[in-house]
Structure 1
Amino acid sequence: MLARRPLVAFFVMAYAFSWIVWAPWTLGQDGAGLLPTRIDPALVGYLNATAILLGPALAGLVMAWVTGGGAGVRRLLARLVRWRVGVRWYVVALVGVPLIMLVGTMVYAGTAPALGALGGPGYLVSYVVTFLLVTVLGGPLFEEIGWRGFALPRMQRSLGPLGASLVLGVLWALWHLPEFLVPSWAASSGGGGLSGIVLFTLTAVTFTVVITWVFNNTRASLLLAVLVHSSIDTFTGTLGAIFPPEAVASAFPYMIGFGVVALVLVVATRGRLGQRRLEESPDAV
């Protein structure tokens, strides 16, 4: 049954596994819901990590096994170490993505960044350490096993790269819905309420278009998808240090930056987003 509708099964498991684990955190906020007391912050971090691991990562690995056995799981995990992709793609992931975010925030805020707030050369060391922690503990490593590792290649076969990016972007964003019940998380992700969720979803779609383009051009390298995702998450903290709080409390800066880049990529590639490069590498997926 699972093998007949692998994508449906994957998304159902990804949502169910994560939402069940998130439930104590989201229901226990401010004494509301089923739990009478506030969840301890240390437990929140544990629940978040567990929800990500048991959601897209576990769902992706289970479905890779269902559809391809042990060989399918090995093929999926092998793409996590596919690093011979060309230096320019590392530059895109590690430098280009932060630049997109920086320019988008400058346009939205109408002001230059206060670079002096970074504290000099020591900032780079701190950034690298934070980047590594975000990659492993913050979600990108395990999320991408599911979203780009299992789902994206299969969605592209039926929907094409642009259609797959649009649908996956929406589903990726809506997977975060329980977290919008937590005021602090909603505030840090563009705001709560319906308008905040819509803006977050649109921004996730623009992210997804860019990640799909990198993924396809690097022969389905999950490593590069993880690096792009990690750059987005990590550099968000840097923006908070060099711009006024009101400039980074919305998803609009990211929508501006990634929205323009995504539109350019769609037009420049005629919606193919590097799929030809992927098709030229039969061993890519």
Structure 2
Amino acid sequence: MTEDQIIQRYDRPWTFYTLATLGSWTAWGGAVWLSHRDGIGPASLTVVAALLLLGLLFPFLTAWRLTRGDPVLRDDLRRRLTWPDRRQLRFATLGAGIMLGSILLAQALSLLLGYSTEQFRFAAHASFSAGILPGWFPLVLAPIIEELSWHSYGTDCLRRKMALFWTSIVFALYWAVWHAPLGMVAHYYQAQVAESGWLHTLNFVLSLFPFVLIMNWLYYRSNRSILVAIIFHLSAGLFNELFQTHPDTKVIQTGLLFALTVAIIIADPSFFFGKTVRGLPSGKWLTAK
């Protein structure tokens, strides 16, 4: 069975995105309410953390529910979760290098605008918290759970009917909306971005577009490896918290990622606008039956 034929079996996008959104927003709505209560203590902060985790898990649980009854999709999922081969490891390394390189280059460029060299110092702690948990916990866990959701089902169910470019644009728009309740959870990352002003809020939304386009380019180039997507997402969060980066510098980083995305698309437009999936070497067939 070819890769395109397998992707055609991811045929319930409305069910996936509706359940994923309602589940996440319900749990996060509880976290928003509880996080703003006066005199909130450790017990309530623990519940906030649990609600944040529950909201994060809903898309994953929805994807699992939609794939578990189809042996072809189960086999496809197992294949895409196997340890990366050399080709996939190269793409994983490239993805991590893109995120590290972009934040370091953005910091270097910011020096020309008068920003401090202190940005290159390592951060002593994460800049946010998730209820009772320090920010490093969701920085590691969220990319893993999210990509087990978005790239086990969510991306391919859109790619089934759309070119890769439009798949990425639609998903980036959805992803921005999906994150919206987190912007109201006290002390969480998205809430701190929102509190920092309209420029950084807008930058967060705009940054999702090159991020998703690059991630999906890596994902399909690596034979739809979910682990490659996880490593790219994980490196983005960790490297952006690793240094004492000024929030304005992240605007520069978004510009650099946009420039890279345009270059990638220009280099191979048919990969992004073609109707068929071109991740595997020409003529290769998958083993799922």
Answer yes or no: same fold by TM over 0.5. yes
Other-structure match for 1:73: 74
Whether contact under 8 Å (1:94, 1:227) holds in the other structure is: yes
Residues 80-159 of structure 1 mapped to structure 2, 5 A cutoff: 80-86=81-87, 87-108=89-110, 110=113, 111=115, 113-114=117-118, 117-118=121-122, 137=141, 139-159=142-162
CA distance in 2, matches of 1:262, 1:168: 16
| The one of 39, 47, 59 aligned to 1:43 | 47
Tell me the CA shift for residue 263 of structure 1. 1.6
What residue number does 2:4 align with?
Answer: none
- Change in 2 beyond 3 A, CA 1:70/1:37: farther
Q: Distance in 1 between matches of 2:239 and 2:11?
A: 37
Larger CA deviation: 178-187 vs 248-257? 248-257
Equivalence for 1:169: 172
TM-score normalised over the length of structure 1 = 0.77
- C-alpha root-mean-square deviation of aligned residues, in Å? 3.3
* Whole-angstrom distance in 2 between the partners of 1:52 and 1:14: 9
Closer/same/farther in 2, CA of residues 105 and 182 from structure 1, 3 Å limit:
farther
Does the alignment pair 1:26 with 2:43? no
Task: Please give the residue correspondences for 1:117-266 in structure 2 after superposition, counting only pairs within 5 Å.
Answer: 117-118=121-122, 137=141, 139-185=142-188, 186-189=190-193, 191=195, 197-239=201-243, 241=244, 243=245, 247-248=246-247, 251-266=250-265
Q: In the superposition, relative to structure 1, how do residues 81 and 5 fare at CA in structure 2: closer, same or farther (>3 Å)?
A: closer
Letter in 1 for 2:242: T
**Residues 221, 4 of structure 1: alpha-carbon distance in 2 compared, 3 angstrom cutoff:** closer
Classify the secondary structure of the residue corresponding to 1:158.
Answer: coil
Return the offset for 1:257.
2.6
Aligned residues: 260
- Structure 1 unmatched runs, 5+: 120-129
Q: Is the 8 A contact 1:79 1:222 kept in 2?
A: yes
Question: Which shifted more, 206-215 or 38-47?
Answer: 38-47
For residues 132 and 187 of structure 1, what CA distance do their matches in structure 2 show? Answer: 16
- 1:205 CA drift (Å): 1.3
Q: Deviations over 1:198-257 (max 9, x none)?
A: 432221111100101100110000000000000011111113x3x3xxx22675234223
Aligned with 2:260: secondary structure? helix
Identity of aligned residues (%): 18
TM-score by length of 2: 0.76
1:263 counterpart letter in structure 2:
V
Query: Partners of 2:136 and 2:40 in 1: how far apart?
Result: 29
CA–CA separation in structure 1 for the residues paired with 2:166 and 2:122: 39
C-alpha change, 1:187 and 1:254, in structure 2 (3 Å) is farther
Of 275-284 and 163-172, deviating more is: 275-284
For residue 207 of structure 1, what is the amino acid of its counterpart?
F
Q: Take 1:171 and 1:218, find their aligned partners in 2: how far apart are those partners?
A: 24
- The one-character-per-residue Cα deviations of 1:160-211 (angstroms, maximum 9, x if unpaired) are 1101011111111211111111353335436577765543222111110010
Give the unaligned 5+ runs of structure 2: 1-8, 124-133
Question: Which fold has the larger relative contact order, with Cα–Cα distance below 8 Å and residues 6 or more apart in sequence?
Answer: 2
Alignment partner, residue 126 of structure 2: none
Residue 56 of structure 1 contacts residue 146 of structure 1 at CA under 8 Å; is this kept in 2? yes
Which residue pairs with 1:56 in the alignment?
59
Distance 1:134 1:183, change over 3 A: closer
Which residue pairs with 2:13 in the alignment?
Answer: 7
Shift of 1:91: 2.0
Whole-angstrom distance in 2 between the partners of 1:116 and 1:200: 21
1:62-91 CA-partner distances (Å, limit 9, x unpaired): 22235xx24423422431224114242132
**Aligned-partner Cα distance in 2 for 1:222–1:147:** 9
Tell me the CA shift for residue 149 of structure 1: 1.7
